[in-house]
Structure 1
């Protein structure tokens, strides 16, 4: 895929150096196979390679492989060059190539050295597999795990997905609890778009971002002369959200005085702009959210009990990303595809090492932190796969305490996810099986296969 260094003696390895039996075998397999000599010229091109690339073997033979195999890594990170220079094979690397008809397709590439009967290196061999169907299946799976802009296959989130359409049919107030970055506004937007108010406006207000005096004017509006700088009438967020949805984020930060006014709106469905003596009807559905424990604030006396019950008609609790790590690969790929469109890049995904780092990290910033990590990687990664050195400093192995991460296999990821689910459920197998959506006998077999045993403190729950 890259031009060979000058001065290297050309050793051409035509297809005739293969035995007829070998050619028959290579032409019968579904994977594309081609070989190059030490000058990077194609010396063999099987039938599957013709079908996948759209280039006839007669046109490919003798040409530089970068002209035939037009991949997004030919200039910057040629797989064959890496193998010929280091002697190390590449296995199942995801890249994209441009077919002869101009269509770009995803493929998986593996490379190795090509030796003659005396063991002398005479070139390289590359096998590749068309991932178009796999990619389409992945997109279909992602569609199944998506509701609006929320993506998750975790059982706890799938349960929320199943509840949202029912909640959306009602005009009752909803309280969404969850840490910062867990997607509270996305859930609020999904409820709006699923409701009969979908054609109306969705207005979001961060109650913790404004001082009390400004927030009151922001919510209810004001008339000219209501205060010093009020030179003209101004509509508030309640008016702007008419016949739609008003999302009040960080509701736990509002003052006691504003809590009284908000309670009156919820009870009477009317409000009064600042400086006005006329009440205005409010045809608005209210959804609130907080990262605080409102129940605790009620007990402490800093949040009104009557308002708490008014906004807590339906409560949804969003889990931390650390509680649904099985979503990390899905979310990472979603953000990669999104930034590919925004930045006009062609990043294929995460390397195994980068994914291992993601799976080990606790994500205190939740999904927002994951999105920021991918955005950071896009600045440093030109193409191909995101590697550990493309990640933010706090995620890189050299900046982390303890032994370096060596990568996780899919089996190790499954083992870790299973362990964490068991821990969350105090090793109650029935509860764990219910959370994971698997049969209890399947769970028992997996526990036995992975050799998982509970800590001493949770041993009594092991068989429950």
Structure 2
């Protein structure tokens, strides 16, 4: 180690931290260590103090801030630079450190390169300050020596007189009382003195004659009096003569030896210089006014990229003062990529092409990434070398974002068009679109499969055969004529060789972005099979332990029949208590996997750090508490079904792994790289809006669509009021069996309360209410007093409660439901709690025309 090695003190209560810091320092340093604040101060005040201190804040006996305070209070140690090395990364801790006198603040973990750079920089800064101090001492010594020489030169008056005559400036020497000792010829010429002034012996009168030639004699006399009272002072000032000349003067002590005997005044005519300075200042003022008024960012910089000038707009944009910018690289706000691009751009400037533009990114005062467009001009000297570069810069972020938005919008529009085109071609419903004159615009392929007259629906007007025979076209013409739309209007249509078909017709207006009509659209849906299923399933009241005969439940029974014995993933959605587990069990036990395990996982009940191990299992040693191998739920369900309840609560990183299982039918146990086969059928359930979860970025879109290959949306109980009596009877029978009681049924008042209650807990709440009533009721009829108290609050006056309070015939109820739903038969049937088939029968029964 060199005997001149720098001495660095590392103060930290953790020996490992001291070792790491010592190993990180790569210079020729002598390292000493202190493991407490008190020991650090003892090392700092020793006869051979350290050149720099690396100080930790968190120490037991005395923290880093207290050590800093002691160091700065001691004159022997206050000059030692201190760099704080700490894990505290709050701004308030950093500010406190600098306020206490630290020269730098580095947070752990740190880069060895950063530590070395900062240590090296602060040691160099200390050396520079020491050199400046020594230079100042030498300068003062030289000034004192120069004054001594000047005083010796003034010892001889005759020598002074010969000297002042030889100089170009006007000179006047006076004693301490203000008496004139001598002047030179230049003084006589400058003041236009006459023989009368020279012949005058009274100094007072002589001075008055000088005052006559000054523009402001009062100020001049007061200034002269002040200087006369302070003969030891070196001073400088200017004044104006009556003829407009500007005179600059210097007043200095006149000494003989070391004794001040008077003053010497040196006068210079600076009129021309002042005029040129004023013109230059005015020119600079006008130039700066033009530059500062610009909204563009304007700067000048040297070939080494350091700034020499910036305007106010530049300072405001980057949130820095001129002092903070001048002398620093203009590229400090750019990323490394943009710096490289800027260097290549500047390297392209030459005398033939001194001007060029470029676009790049920077961080502005708000730490936002912004786009800038700049034009750079290079200034060359006679040898062709660049001496300066000038730049005018514009913020083009808004334009850039607009261009990107336009590009994205164009791509999105094209993507949407392609998707809509694909939907239009592949949708199973037949579609016909016409303009406001009735001209056919487009039809799709599905129309040809549904309508026997589709071949007559070519572009142009409807044919006579269509006008006479097609009921679908009648609905479309009605919309064009009077603006009345049709929703789910069912008709029977002769399909030729295929026999009669049941069709649902829906007409919709085509509107532009201003809501102005552009024509109309007819959607034809073939519901022949649905009508057959409605007829076949209309009276079915249960399915696989699921209770209900309402239309929504009939549709679900049909879906369960079709998809139970398949391998596709299923997503079951619906509010809490709607029976998602029942649906899941029906799917499992109705499939070929019914003899295999059914494994249930509630994703919301498992901690985020455990769910991966629960699902996929782990091997011994995979993590701290993994003392043995564990089989995951996927392995438990091998050959069977895995039910993932509350799937929306699963963590994002596990969503990706679950997607891999769905895609590739394989997974890895935690801590193991060997792939396991996943021979399971996945059924997921959620009581939240999964599409909204996807839109908000909480659930992966690809996983969502992979899960909802087949989606079952369970209706809330309030939308299947007609099923309540069946469900209540079922739960009552279960309660009677479990409690050994006999119940004859539920009173009409109880059924009325059930019909008007909103059922936020759905079927589960109904089951709990019946169980509650079974406990309170001794037997026979369950009455209203046996119900839970919260169900007996007055219901909201909705449509059904109004039906029960105001006598209304069946026909009136049907008509009222149609009016409330704007003649939508499906919604009207739902309100009445009956199937669509039953609703159509009642329309025919009472001769109600829905046209």
Scaled by the length of structure 2, the TM-score of the pair is 0.34
Contact 1:421-1:432 within 8 A present in 2 as well: yes
Per the alignment, residue 463 of structure 1 pairs with 850
Q: Secondary structure at the match of 2:560?
A: helix
**Structure 1 residues 364 and 402: alpha-carbon distance in aligned structure 2, compared to 1, 3 A threshold:** closer
- Cα-to-partner distance string for 1:244-265 (whole Å, 9 max, x where unaligned): 1111111111111110110011
Measure the CA separation in 1 of the matches of 2:723 and 2:768.
16
Per the alignment, residue 250 of structure 1 pairs with 646
Residues 1:362 and 2:764 aligned together: no
**Structure 1 residues 155 and 415: alpha-carbon distance in aligned structure 2, compared to 1, 3 A threshold:** farther
Per the alignment, residue 117 of structure 1 pairs with none
Displacement of 1:163: 1.4
Question: 5+ unaligned residues in a row in structure 1: which ranges?
Answer: 1-140, 449-461
Per the alignment, residue 232 of structure 1 pairs with 628
Displacement of 1:416: 11
Measure the CA separation in 1 of the matches of 2:579 and 2:731.
14
Of structures 1 and 2, the one scoring higher in RCO (CA 8 A, sep 6+) is 1
Q: Choose which of 393, 400, 403 in structure 1 pairs with 2:794.
A: 400
Measure the CA separation in 2 of the matches of 1:431 and 1:408.
20
- Cα-to-partner distance string for 1:11-39 (whole Å, 9 max, x where unaligned): xxxxxxxxxxxxxxxxxxxxxxxxxxxxx
Per the alignment, residue 838 of structure 2 pairs with 438
Q: Secondary structure at the match of 1:195?
A: coil
Per the alignment, residue 292 of structure 1 pairs with 688
Q: Secondary structure at the match of 1:175?
A: strand
Displacement of 1:274: 1.4
Residues 1:332 and 2:728 aligned together: yes
Q: Choose which of 561, 568, 576 in structure 2 pairs with 1:165.
A: 561
Q: Secondary structure at the match of 1:437?
A: helix
Contact 2:803-2:813 within 8 A present in 1 as well: no
Measure the CA separation in 1 of the matches of 2:850 and 2:758.
29
- Cα-to-partner distance string for 1:331-358 (whole Å, 9 max, x where unaligned): 0000011111111111222111111111
Point out 4+ residue stretches in structure 1 off by more than 6 angstroms: 411-417
Displacement of 1:224: 2.1
Scaled by the length of structure 1, the TM-score of the pair is 0.60
**Structure 1 residues 401 and 274: alpha-carbon distance in aligned structure 2, compared to 1, 3 A threshold:** same
Per the alignment, residue 349 of structure 1 pairs with 745
Q: Choose which of 818, 823, 826 in structure 2 pairs with 1:427.
A: 823
| Count of matched residue positions in the alignment of Structure 1 and Structure 2 | 307
Measure the CA separation in 2 of the matches of 1:430 and 1:303.
33
Contact 1:430-1:440 within 8 A present in 2 as well: no
Displacement of 1:233: 1.6
Per the alignment, residue 181 of structure 1 pairs with 577
Measure the CA separation in 2 of the matches of 1:283 and 1:370.
37
- Cα-to-partner distance string for 1:13-66 (whole Å, 9 max, x where unaligned): xxxxxxxxxxxxxxxxxxxxxxxxxxxxxxxxxxxxxxxxxxxxxxxxxxxxxx
Measure the CA separation in 1 of the matches of 2:771 and 2:680.
36
- Cα-to-partner distance string for 1:304-356 (whole Å, 9 max, x where unaligned): 11111110111111101000000000000000111111111112221111111
Q: Secondary structure at the match of 2:564?
A: helix
Displacement of 1:231: 2.2
Measure the CA separation in 2 of the matches of 1:426 and 1:419.
10
Question: 5+ unaligned residues in a row in structure 2: which ranges?
Answer: 1-536
Contact 2:825-2:836 within 8 A present in 1 as well: no
Map residues 35-50 of structure 1 onto 2, 5 A cutoff: none
Contact 2:578-2:716 within 8 A present in 1 as well: yes
Kindly indicate which of the two structures has a greater share of residues assigned to strand: 2
Measure the CA separation in 1 of the matches of 2:783 and 2:750.
5
Contact 1:225-1:275 within 8 A present in 2 as well: yes
Contact 1:217-1:273 within 8 A present in 2 as well: yes
Per the alignment, residue 60 of structure 1 pairs with none
Displacement of 1:181: 0.6
Measure the CA separation in 2 of the matches of 1:184 and 1:307.
20
Q: Secondary structure at the match of 1:303?
A: coil
Measure the CA separation in 2 of the matches of 1:376 and 1:143.
30
Per the alignment, residue 82 of structure 2 pairs with none
| Cα root mean square deviation, aligned | 3.2
Residues 1:375 and 2:775 aligned together: no
Measure the CA separation in 2 of the matches of 1:417 and 1:348.
30
Per the alignment, residue 586 of structure 2 pairs with 190
Q: Choose which of 181, 198, 203 in structure 1 pairs with 2:599.
A: 203
Contact 2:577-2:762 within 8 A present in 1 as well: yes
Per the alignment, residue 131 of structure 1 pairs with none
Per the alignment, residue 70 of structure 1 pairs with none
Q: Which moved more, 1:251-260 or 1:422-431?
A: 422-431
Measure the CA separation in 1 of the matches of 2:665 and 2:758.
43
- Cα-to-partner distance string for 1:359-402 (whole Å, 9 max, x where unaligned): 11111110001001001111111101111111101112xx4367
**Structure 1 residues 408 and 421: alpha-carbon distance in aligned structure 2, compared to 1, 3 A threshold:** closer
Contact 1:353-1:407 within 8 A present in 2 as well: no
Per the alignment, residue 124 of structure 1 pairs with none
Per the alignment, residue 36 of structure 1 pairs with none
Contact 1:212-1:258 within 8 A present in 2 as well: no
Larger Cα-atom Rg: 2
**Structure 1 residues 391 and 239: alpha-carbon distance in aligned structure 2, compared to 1, 3 A threshold:** same
Per the alignment, residue 212 of structure 1 pairs with 608
Measure the CA separation in 1 of the matches of 2:652 and 2:820.
36
